[in-house]
Structures are given as C-alpha cells and as structure tokens.
Homo-oligomer: A and B are copies of this chain.
Amino acid sequence: MRVTIKDVARKAGVSTATVSLVLHDNRRISVETRKRVLKAIHELEYQPSQLARGLVMKQTGNIGFILTEDHFLRTEPFYTRIFLGTEFEARESSHFVLLTTIPTQFTEENSLPRFVTQQSVDGIIVAGKVPQLLIEKLKHYNMPFIFIDYYPPKGDYSAVLIDNIHGGMVATEHLIKLGHKEIAFIGGDMEHPSINERYIGYKMALEKHGIRYRSELVITSEEATGKESGLHAVCSLLDRDIKFSALFACNDAMAIGAMECLRKRGLKIPDQVSVVGFDDIESDVFQDPPLTTIAVPKFDLGIEAMRLMREVLANKVRKNKKVLVPVELVLRKSTSPLKK
C-alpha cells in the first residue's frame, strides 16, 4: 500500500493538516514540529499523490503538447528538441507533458487529442504550423494555449517565436559585411509567417545598408521549403543568367539544395557564391563546405514555452504575450569575402 499523508501524520504525531502545511512551507508551523514532520516524510519516503492533490486543487499538473505527425517524424530533430526543452523545464514545476500528434491534414472527422476533450491538462502547447481548424476547435475549451514557432494568421495568442526578422537581418548583414551586394534570396511557402519574416529581415538589411532591392534576385515562388525546392530555385536563377555573389536561403534544407545545384553547375562555394542558411540543422556540418547559418535554439524554444505557460496558468488576466527567442549567426565555411 502506498504511504499517505496519514501515515506521516501518525508517525510524526500530528494531524494531516499539519503535514500538508509543512509541505507547503506554511509558517504557522513551529520549527520543531516542522523538523519532526520532515523527518517522518523522509523516513517513510512519502510522496504526495498527484491525483488527490489535483482533485482538490482543481488542476491536473499536466500540459498537453501537440504536433502534427509530419513534424514529429521529421528526420531533422527540430520539434523533438523543442519538446525536450519543454519536458525539461516542466520538471521545475512538477508538470508532466503529454505529447500527442494530430494528422497533418486535420479535418472535421478528426477529433481533438483526448487530453483536451477529457480536460486532463491545464494548458496546451502547440508546436509548428497546424491547421486553422485545430485552433478553432481548441478555442471551445477553456484552456490556455501557447504556440511555438508558429503564429496563426488571425487572432491574438500567446506564442514563443523565433526572432526571424532579426535572424534574416543578421544573415544578410553578414553577407553585406563581406562585401557582397548581389545577394539572392530563396524561399518557399511564403504564407508561413516564419519564412516571410526572414524575407522581411533580408529586405530590411539591404535597405539599412543602402543596397537596392532587386526582385530578380528573389525567388519566393517555391511551394515547399525542402532540398529540392532549393535546388530548383537556384537553378532557375542560373538558367536566367542572373548574377549573384551571395545567397541567403530561408532555411538550411533549401540552402543545401541550393549548394547542390551550385556544385553541379561548377560554381565554387564560397569562392564564387557565398551561402547562408537558417535553422542550424544537424547535417550542416557534413556539407561540403559546412554551411554557415543562423542557429535556432530549439531547446530554448521549448523551455520558454513552458515558462510562459506557467505565467499564464498563474495569472489568467495577463494579456497574450509573445516571446521572441534570439538567434545567432554560426560561421562555417560556406561564406567568404567577395572576390573581385
């Protein structure tokens, strides 16, 4: 049988209320009594029942974490790292994180995760781009939710986001400082806020340094944001004989595809074209040359989301807060000063 608060109370010769008060650091209990209780707790290896506690406190102690199947199963451990950050930070407040996936194509037929309908969580964290329908359905439940790395096009929410604009600026400025003026940008799925923001950063950097924005240097027509799109985008640039000495890809996958194309066409990286990516995925280091990129601190994103969740849970009146997690330029070998 499990050790309960009653056993502790009996052993320490006090009431269960006293034990509970000790557990909650209530100063109404004298130092000696406190010690006695603590001793009993320790000797019996007492662990409060989360169930009983939750029942009276009206909270489950659980946080739901929702990902689309695609995102969870991605080869690149992006969202898994974010989850890990959340799970890690959850330990600080004794929360548990219930991870579940939803179909990438979430339709009317699909039901919400069980932890939502059963109200088995105190709050929900949604990571990555999810269908609008999911969000609409979630709203019906009186539970706070927080987005990570995605901000729905309409509505006002709490969210933990990558500082994409700044990242886009830093990436572009890095190239500018190396002397580049003809800097191409390749992106895809421009509806995605993150991608779009990186693009904005690119434009802002150009403006700041007095470099004219040239639309022929920009590819935003790709559907996807994978390696193939990157390859395709750069090839189309090359096919049209457009000259550029540097290239900023909206993410590393596209950057890697881009490099593949450049290599195929016999262009030397970084001597003839410098390349900067965004994300800092694992395979960057194994590229030839290793890819210079903007590092996104995945773990931190998860941590920040959990912290924000705690704030929201503690004080419901708070307005929707956004946290921008800073990014960092990681210098590797795919960029170099402009050669004449």
Contact = CB atoms under 8 A, between A and B. Distances in A.
A242 interface: no
A69 B72 CA distance: 16
A244 interface: no
Given A2-B119, A77-B73, A77-B75, A98 B101 contact: no
A209 interface: no
Contact of A94 (B54, B77, B101, B114): B114
Contacts of A96: 62, 98, 114-115, 120
A219 B214 CA distance: 58
Interface string A184-226: 0000000000000000000000000000000000000000000
Contacts of A83: 99
Contacts of A49: 55, 119
Given A51-B55, A96-B98, A76 B75 contact: yes
A27 to B, nearest CB: 26
Interface residues of A, number: 39
A1 to B, nearest CB: 9
A320 interface: no
Given A98-B98, A119-B2, A91 B74 contact: no
A314 interface: no
A117 interface: yes
A54 B52 CA distance: 9
A156 interface: no
A87 interface: yes
Most buried by B among A50, A81, A115, A118: A50
Contacts of A115: 96
A236 interface: no
A47 interface: yes
- 6 A-B pairs with the lowest CB-CB distances in the bound complex, closest first: A51-B55, A51-B54, A73-B77, A96-B98, A51-B51, A47-B118
29 contacts: A2-B119, A47-B117, A47-B118, A49-B55, A50-B60, A50-B120, A51-B60, A52-B55, A55-B55, A72-B77, A72-B80, A72-B84, A73-B77, A73-B81, A73-B84, A74-B77, A75-B75, A75-B76, A75-B283, A80-B80, A87-B99, A87-B100, A91-B114, A94-B114, A96-B114, A96-B120, A97-B98, A97-B99, A99-B99
